[in-house]
Structure 1
Amino acid sequence: MRIGVIGAGIAGLATAARLASLGHEVSVYEANSYPGGKLSAFWLEGYRFDAGPSLFTMPQYVDDLFRAAGEDPHVHFRYNRLDVVCHYFWEDGTRLHAHSDKEAFAAEVEQQLGVPAERVGAVLADSAHKYGVTGRIFLEKSLHKWSTWADAKVLKAMLQIPGLDLFTSMNRVNERLAKHPKLVQLFNRFATYNGSNPYKAPGLLNIIPHFEHEQGAYYPIGGMHAITEAVYELALRKGAAFHFGAPVREILVENGRAAGLRVGEEELPFDRVVSNMDVFFTYKKLLPNARQPKRILRQQKSTSALIFYWGIKRSFPELGLHNILFSEDYEKEFALLEAGAVSDDPTVYINISSKADPADAPAGHENWFTMINVPYNSGQDWDALISRCRAQVLAKVSRMLGTDVEPLIACEDVLEPRTIESRTQSHLGALYGTSSNNRMAAFMRHPNFSSRIRGLYFCGGSAHPGGGIPLCLLSAKIVEELMAEEMAS
C-alpha cells in the first residue's frame, strides 16, 4: 500500500517508521530542510541547543516504537534516568531539589518547606491512581471509536469519573492535598506541560506528576535531538522515503476518499494519507474545499513560548539540567496569559544540557535554554514585548542567582510565537494545539482519522491524545492501529 505522510515532526517520523516496518511504501513530505519539527537542534558559536522540547519522560514509548519495528531500542537509542528532575527557586531564597525518587523528594520537601512528607505522598498517590484508572485507556486508544467505549475497562473507568476531579481544577486538588503554597505552586506548574492554566484545567490532569516521580525523567544521550535522529534513522532503515523542502499544497480527494497529494505542481497518488501538520492548517491550506470541523478548530489555543538561547561565559553549580524560578503571583501570571499578555514577573525555566553533556558548551561555560510561557499570537506587539521580557528575565535570574547575568551572554538567539508558527506550522504559535482548560478538552481534540474523508488520518500534537513527545508517539501508534482496523474490515 502506498502511504503519503505530511510532515516529519516526531509523530510523522514515528508513523512512517511504524507503517514502513509493516511493508507499506511510505513517502514523507516535509517543508523544512530537516526532520523533527520542534524537536530539532542547532549550534551557535560553539554552544549546542535543543531548539524545542527539553524534558524526556515515558521513554517506553520510544522503546515500543523500535520493538514494533523488530529492533532492539537500546542498540540505537540510549538514555539515563535523572536523579534530580528539577531544581526549584523562589524569590525568598527557598530552593528545592525535586528528586525522581519519591521518598527522597518527599524528604527534601519536608526539610526545605517544613511540609510533612506524607503530603507529597498524597499528591503522588492521587496522581498514580488517576493514571492507573484513565491513563492507558484514554491516552493509548482513540476516543472517537465506539469500540473503545464498548471495552469493559473503559466502562469501569467511566464509573469512577466522579472521583477523578474532572469537575475540579488542578489548583483546587493541589490545595486540598499539598496545602503549602509553594508545594501547591510546584504541582500546579505541571499544567504548563500541555500549555494549560492550572486554575482552570481539570484536576484529572494531576496525572502528569506521575510521569516524572513514578516513571522517571530521563536525558537522551546526545540530547533531545537524539530522539529525532534515532526515529528518523529507524524509518529510513525500514524503507520510508523522505522529501525535504517539499511542502504539500493539497490533499487530493476523490469520491470522498483521500487519493493523493499535490506537491509543487505534481499530483502524487496514494492509497492512504496521514497528516502530521497542525489540524488547523491541514484544513485551511490542504483541504480548502472540505467541510471544516469548526467546533474543533475554534477550541482555545494552548500557550506559546518565548525562548532565549544564551551561551553563558561561566558555570553555575547551583543550577541543574532543569530549573524553575517561580513568579511571586502564579495565579496572576496565568490570568494575564489567558488575556493575551505576559506578567511583569514571569516564571522562568532554564534548561542547561551541558550539565549532562559538557560537550554542548565550551569548557567552563553553559548553554542556557531560557524560556517563559507567553500567549499564542493574537496580534501583540511582539518586538516590544520581547524586549521588555528579556530585561525582566535577566533581572529576575540575576536577582535570584546573585550574579549579573547579562555581561555573561556570549551569544544569543530567540524563538517566539511568530517564528514558532513559521518554522513548524503551529497555528498562532500555540505549542500544544488546543489547551486543556476545558474539562471536555480531551474529547474535543481532533480524532486520529477523518469521519468524512476515508483514508485520511491525523497524528501529532494538535490531534488526539495531545502535545508533547510521549503523546505524539502514541498518536502514531493509534494511527497504525486504526489503519490496520480499516484495512481488515
Structure 2
Amino acid sequence: MSDERIVVIGAGVGGLVSAALLAARGCDVTVVEAAAGPGGKLRAITTDGVAIDAGPTVFTMRPLFEEIFAACGTSLDDHLSMRPASTLARHAWGEARLDLYADPAASEAAIGAFAGAGEARGYRRFRAEAKRLFDALDRPFLRETKTDPITLGWRMGARGLPDYLNLRAYVSMWRALGRYFRDPRLQQLFGRYATYCGSSPFQCPATLMLIAHVEASGVWLVDGGMHRLAQALESLGRNNGVRFRYDAPVREILVERGRAAGVILGSGERIGAGSVVCNADPAAIGAGRFGEAARRATSALPSKRRSLSAMVWTAHATASGFPLARHNVFFSADYPAEFAALASGRLAQAPSIYVCAQDRDDSAASPQGRERFQIIVNAPATGDGTPFTPAEIETCRVRMLDGVSRAGLSLDLGDSPESGTVLTTPTDFERLFPSTGGALYGPASHGWAASFRRQGSRTRIPGIYCAGGSTHPGAGVPMAALSGRLAVECLLRDRASMSRSRPMAMPGGISTRPARTAPMA
C-alpha cells in the first residue's frame, strides 16, 4: 500500500543511511535521486579516465559506520577496504612544516620540536579539552534528536552538570585557542577545524574544538577513494530491498490532509508514500523547490547564515618539490584577513589551500607520473548571485598556485580543458544543490545558538523528515550518517504512535482518539 511506502529524496550519505536502515527494519523504501548515481556531495568526478574524489576526503568515526552496517545484517569490512592513517595531516607555513599524527604522543613531540615545550603542553591541555567536549555531547546531543538548551541540560543530567556549565559556547574558537597556544600558527592550525563545518574560527563557539578530537581518534584511508563509501551504502540498501531511481529529480512533495502523501517526479510520475525523508538541503523545501504545499515544512535560510562554499579543483596532474601526505594544508600569512574577505562575499587575496593527494599514503614513496588531486580554496556562498568572472577565477587559480609554491610545491594542472583538471565553483554547487548558494555545510555554526537552530529530523508537516549534513547534528560525513539514523528513529516512532492511535471499530461506535501531530525535533 502506498501509505506504507517510504520515499527518500536524495542519495547523499544521510539518505543512503536512512534508506538502508529503514529497509533493514522491513520497510518498503524507494530512493529517488536527481543525479546519475549515489553520493550527493560525496561524489567523484571522472577525468582523464580516473575517478577523483570531489567531495569529502576524510573518513572518521569508523565505529559509527560499523554500527550502521551491523544493523543492516553485514559488516563494514565486507563492503569497504581501508587502512588507518598514521599521519593525520601535513601543514605548511612557507618552508615551515608540522605533521599531526594518530599517535598523540608523536603529535605532542612534533609540536614541541616545531614551537617549543610550552606549546606542547598547551597541545596536551587542548587535546584533553576537545575530548571532554566530545564526550559530554556525543550521547545527549550528537546522537539524539534536535534539542534546546534546557532539554540538553536535562539529558546530560546531574552527573553532566559540570560539563553542561562549561560547554565553551559563549567564547569564540579563536579566542579559546589563544589560551592553549601562544604561537599564532598553532591557533591557525587548530582553528581550521571550524572550516570542517564551513564556519569561521572567529565566529563559531569554542565548543567546536571537539572536531579536533574526532580526527585525533582516527583517520582512515579508503581504498579507491571516499566515494566508495557511497557505493557501499547503496549496496547495503539494495541488499535489503531498497529500490533506487536515478536521473529522477523530484518536482513536488505531496501533502494531503495535512501530512506527506508522496512525491511527483520531474517527469510527472506520482509515487505515493506515507512518509518522505528529504536528503536535500532543508532550505530547499522552505524556498518552495518542492512545491508550495510542502514549503511550510521548513524555513528558508537567509544568505547571511550560510556556511562557506569553495573553489574546488579535481585534477589528474603531476606534483614535485614538496613531500605530500594524503592530507595537506598550506596556510595563509593572515588568517583574520582571509575570513574577513569571505564574510564580505569576496575571495581571499591570500587564501589557505587544502590539497588531498589521493594516491599518497603513509609511505614515503611518491607516485610516478600523474596522480589524483583535490584542491580546495574556501569561497563565499554566493552561487545564486553574480558568478565569478573568468578573470576572478584565473586570479584565484594563480593565488592558489602561488600559495603552495611558497612551501615548495609545484603543481602542473595544465591550461586546457583536455588537461584533466575540472573546477567546481559556488555557482556550480548551487546548480548541484539548489537553494544553498553553493554553501557546502548548510547553515554556518556561528554564535552559541547555531547548533540549536539547525533543522531537526522532524518538520512542521507530519510524515516529512529531513536528513543530511545541513540538518542536526551537523555537517560532515559522520554527522550526515547520524542524521540519517535519527530520521529513521523519529519516523518509526511516529509510525508506531500513529498505528496505536489509528481509529478502530469499537462496540457502540466508539473510536480511539485521532493521532496528534508529533512535536518538532
Compared CA separation, residues 241 and 316, structure 1 to 2 (3 A) = farther
Q: 1:285 aligns with which of 251, 276, 289?
A: 289
SS at match of 1:80: strand
Counterparts of 2:249 and 2:488, CA distance in 1 = 23
The offset of 1:43, in angstroms, is 2.5
Counterparts of 1:260 and 1:404, CA distance in 2 = 49
Comparing 373-382 with 383-392, greater Cα deviation is found at 373-382
Q: 1:87 aligns with which of 75, 90, 100?
A: 90
Compared CA separation, residues 154 and 389, structure 1 to 2 (3 A) = farther
Is structure 2 residue 330 aligned with structure 1 residue 325?
yes
| Mapping 1:158-177, distance limit 5 Å | 160-177=163-180
SS at match of 2:441: coil
Q: 2:454 aligns with which of 445, 451, 463?
A: 445
The offset of 1:430, in angstroms, is 0.1
Q: 1:375 aligns with which of 377, 380, 393?
A: 380
The offset of 1:314, in angstroms, is 4.5
Compared CA separation, residues 347 and 25, structure 1 to 2 (3 A) = same
| Mapping 1:192-203, distance limit 5 Å | 192-203=195-206
The offset of 1:153, in angstroms, is 2.8
Q: Report the residue type matching 2:93 in the other structure.
A: W
Query: Is this contact kept in 2: 1:57–1:470, CA < 8 A?
Result: yes
Aligned counterpart, 1:297: 301
Query: Is this contact kept in 2: 1:148–1:154, CA < 8 A?
Result: no
Deviations 1:345-399 (A, max 9, x none): 00010001111499xx983332221111000016344133211100111122223
Aligned counterpart, 2:213: 210
Counterparts of 1:349 and 1:485, CA distance in 2 = 42
Query: Is this contact kept in 1: 2:320–2:409, CA < 8 A?
Result: no
Counterparts of 1:390 and 1:72, CA distance in 2 = 42
Identity of aligned residues (%): 34
Compared CA separation, residues 237 and 163, structure 1 to 2 (3 A) = same
Aligned counterpart, 2:428: 419
SS at match of 1:166: coil
The offset of 1:179, in angstroms, is 2.2
Compared CA separation, residues 246 and 293, structure 1 to 2 (3 A) = closer
Counterparts of 1:62 and 1:403, CA distance in 2 = 37
Is structure 2 residue 26 aligned with structure 1 residue 19?
no
Is structure 2 residue 478 aligned with structure 1 residue 473?
no
Q: Report the residue type matching 1:429 in the other structure.
A: G
TM-score by length of 2: 0.88
Counterparts of 1:477 and 1:106, CA distance in 2 = 36
Aligned counterpart, 1:229: 231
Comparing 319-328 with 287-296, greater Cα deviation is found at 287-296
Q: Please identify which structure carries the higher helix content.
A: 1
Question: CA RMSD for the aligned pairs?
Answer: 2.4
The offset of 1:14, in angstroms, is 0.8
Compared CA separation, residues 146 and 208, structure 1 to 2 (3 A) = closer
The offset of 1:156, in angstroms, is 5.0
Query: Is this contact kept in 2: 1:296–1:444, CA < 8 A?
Result: no
Aligned counterpart, 1:109: 111
Counterparts of 1:71 and 1:406, CA distance in 2 = 41
Aligned counterpart, 1:55: 58
Is structure 2 residue 391 aligned with structure 1 residue 387?
no
The offset of 1:333, in angstroms, is 0.5
Query: Is this contact kept in 2: 1:315–1:364, CA < 8 A?
Result: no
Compared CA separation, residues 194 and 426, structure 1 to 2 (3 A) = farther
Compared CA separation, residues 111 and 418, structure 1 to 2 (3 A) = same
SS at match of 1:286: coil
Aligned counterpart, 1:354: 359
Is structure 2 residue 436 aligned with structure 1 residue 430?
no
Compared CA separation, residues 136 and 56, structure 1 to 2 (3 A) = same
Greater gyration radius: 2
SS at match of 1:428: coil
Counterparts of 1:105 and 1:405, CA distance in 2 = 31
Compared CA separation, residues 129 and 37, structure 1 to 2 (3 A) = same
